Structure 1
């Protein structure tokens, strides 16, 4: 089995795993730290949060990807962290941990019951693909907004990408990443002297169960994670052709992982969408059956990030934001294209898929629920209405 894994692994799959972790951490680690600070976390507890999250994502990515032979990427709940950053003010750390446990139990029960998978099985593929394209659109656009902000850096990365697509298509993203790092270094935008390496130390916090906090924080965390993270995560797997991955065990696994790691700060785990799209596309590996190695690579990098949680923030802040945005956008171009193609392939579903795409891409959020849910809901309503028999 080890020989098979080694044979299936390629430089492109390892680089896809690294880019997925880079994008995942760099884009939202600040929100996680804000959420911890809102609960009054000490510096040691913040480090413990990053360590627990890295450990949970690493274990679940490796385990699911290996077992199902598919790039199953997990993540922390970024919308959930944003919710916590605004709702934990005045809530003690112990009460916050109690709310996280409540959310984890609900997630575990939903996975065991199979209800989530039954609902997602009724979503047409064009609608799911359109929702994924809408989610990823902003990442594609960010390449060109970054070009305006830093023409030398992003322009060089774009030219490198085009050249690699002609002569080294499998290694385009890793070469772009190396080019971006080199140009950033030359511009003086990378500050290695600010880095310091230290191991994470777990800090246990015993939970307290305050009914008001359970309903006011734990329940919204569960709802936001399901609608804004797991639904797009399932869509990413389905749109990439991995229908064989059973969703209920994965949802149950993320709920169980949250349940175990919550006392150390692992507030919510779920299926990833944006970072997963980097590992499920052709740039990760030409053979879809071997892309699971990108998931294992991502899990390994997550474990390293969790192990050195005290250094993660400094490490990712050392990269210019324009470089990270450009790498992410270029890595997702193929997935955006294939998602749009799938969304518009069937004439009977085209209008509903476009409605889904436009709502999702708009970024509109109502009642604290993310745009992905509303895009899916709007698309399904249109699909039902437009395909009714007269």
Structure 2
């Protein structure tokens, strides 16, 4: 790592990624912890364990592969746990986390996941990613209805900075938003107090019904809704980082930190897109700094524990939504172009895009997975009918 690789734009991208990741789903993590009967101390321990795991994997993998490898907790997994852990003890929940992480480690070490991702055409992967990110683009304008001045000014700042200061677009938008919120008297930090989290060890217990009923769905949701889109982000940005070590590393970190509350650490998709685009750095070989920066912020936020919740509650939700959407506009555009560029896959890619963007889920599995399935079935049928016509 060279000192001149560091840039303000990459560090800001890392911060925005962590900000968006925490603000958008930390409440779901607390719901999952509460479903297992966790008190405030255990909830803070969950954040600490997740923060440490994500920090180590972000920093280590980004530095080693010189690519912006961003990890995150599984938001769909947390949502699944919030509805599935009712009636289980904390010990049984911890056993589920260990079981799921062990299976994930086996998948990573065996190379099964990498072989699967090689079968997915790039247009379909780009369409799936675009479908996921479209919701964040829509959120800019739905937020505009609620906060016309704030979001409108952020949008105008984005357009001006894009033309005048392209490397610092998101920094300019962030400063604009904070300034307006502060001037408008909407930033109340009186409830924010610095409190360090303390790790709470929970001895695991293993229940066959919990492992099969919660553990296997958690593994499937994490792989389908987080790791596959996460690989798609890296590939769409031109990074050919080997997949198996990434899956193995995130699973191992989850396995080691599960007794402290790390329920699932995996590849990020949405926040990774923020760090892998041109806004992070025009030179793709220097965007890995955004991954390292994200890891540092993850660690700080994890150590702060419950303080993080109070801090994010101080920001208007419309500001966070607009910041995320504007940070992802360039990535949305690039993936829309990629998914429709190849005529052979165009129709299948559009179907993938629409199914993914619909948000429809079946059997507890998110729409991103079903979008890929629909696109793959379309490609298969089209190839079979072409062979039939040719015969």
TM range (shorter): over 0.9
1:70 to 50, 67, 70: 67
Residue in structure 2 matched with residue 265 of structure 1 by the alignment: 261
Equivalent positions of 1:132-147 (< 5 A) are 132-147=129-144
Shift of 1:187: 1.7
Residue in structure 2 matched with residue 193 of structure 1 by the alignment: 190
Residues 58, 298 of structure 1: 8 Å contact kept: yes
For the pair 1:152 / 2:149, whether they are aligned, the reply is: yes
- Listed one character per residue, the Cα deviations across residues 21-71 of structure 1 (whole Å, up to 9, x for unaligned) are 000000000000000000000111000000000111011000000000000
2:25 to 18, 23, 28: 28
1:357 to 353, 360, 366: 353
CA distance in 2, matches of 1:121, 1:14: 31
CA distance in 2, matches of 1:162, 1:225: 35
Shift of 1:310: 2.3
CA distance in 2, matches of 1:310, 1:153: 27
1:384 to 380, 384, 388: 380
Residues 348, 387 of structure 1: 8 Å contact kept: no
Residues 73, 271 of structure 1: 8 Å contact kept: yes
CA distance in 1, matches of 2:249, 2:93: 22
1:225 to 198, 222, 226: 222
1:291 to 287, 303, 309: 287
Residue in structure 1 matched with residue 329 of structure 2 by the alignment: 333
- Which SS does the other structure have where 1:198 is aligned? coil
2:248 to 231, 248, 252: 252
Residue in structure 1 matched with residue 53 of structure 2 by the alignment: 56
TM-score by length of 2: 0.98
- Listed one character per residue, the Cα deviations across residues 172-218 of structure 1 (whole Å, up to 9, x for unaligned) are 10010011011011222211111000111100000001111111111
- Which SS does the other structure have where 1:348 is aligned? coil
CA distance in 2, matches of 1:345, 1:19: 30
For the pair 1:178 / 2:171, whether they are aligned, the reply is: no
CA distance in 1, matches of 2:379, 2:314: 46
Shift of 1:387: 2.8
- Listed one character per residue, the Cα deviations across residues 86-144 of structure 1 (whole Å, up to 9, x for unaligned) are 01111000000001100000000000010011010010000000000000001011101
Residues 279, 294 of structure 1: 8 Å contact kept: yes
- Which SS does the other structure have where 2:266 is aligned? strand
Residue in structure 2 matched with residue 131 of structure 1 by the alignment: 128
1:366 to 354, 362, 366: 362
Residue in structure 2 matched with residue 311 of structure 1 by the alignment: 307
- Which SS does the other structure have where 2:187 is aligned? coil
Residue in structure 1 matched with residue 40 of structure 2 by the alignment: 43
CA distance in 2, matches of 1:113, 1:218: 20
- Listed one character per residue, the Cα deviations across residues 296-336 of structure 1 (whole Å, up to 9, x for unaligned) are 01011001001111211011111110000111000000000
Residue in structure 1 matched with residue 211 of structure 2 by the alignment: 214
- Which SS does the other structure have where 2:72 is aligned? strand
Spell out structure 1 runs of 4+ moving beyond 2 A.
387-390
CA distance in 1, matches of 2:181, 2:382: 51
CA distance in 2, matches of 1:387, 1:21: 42
RMSD: 0.7
CA distance in 1, matches of 2:323, 2:6: 21
CA distance in 2, matches of 1:166, 1:290: 22
CA distance in 1, matches of 2:345, 2:205: 48
For the pair 1:235 / 2:232, whether they are aligned, the reply is: yes
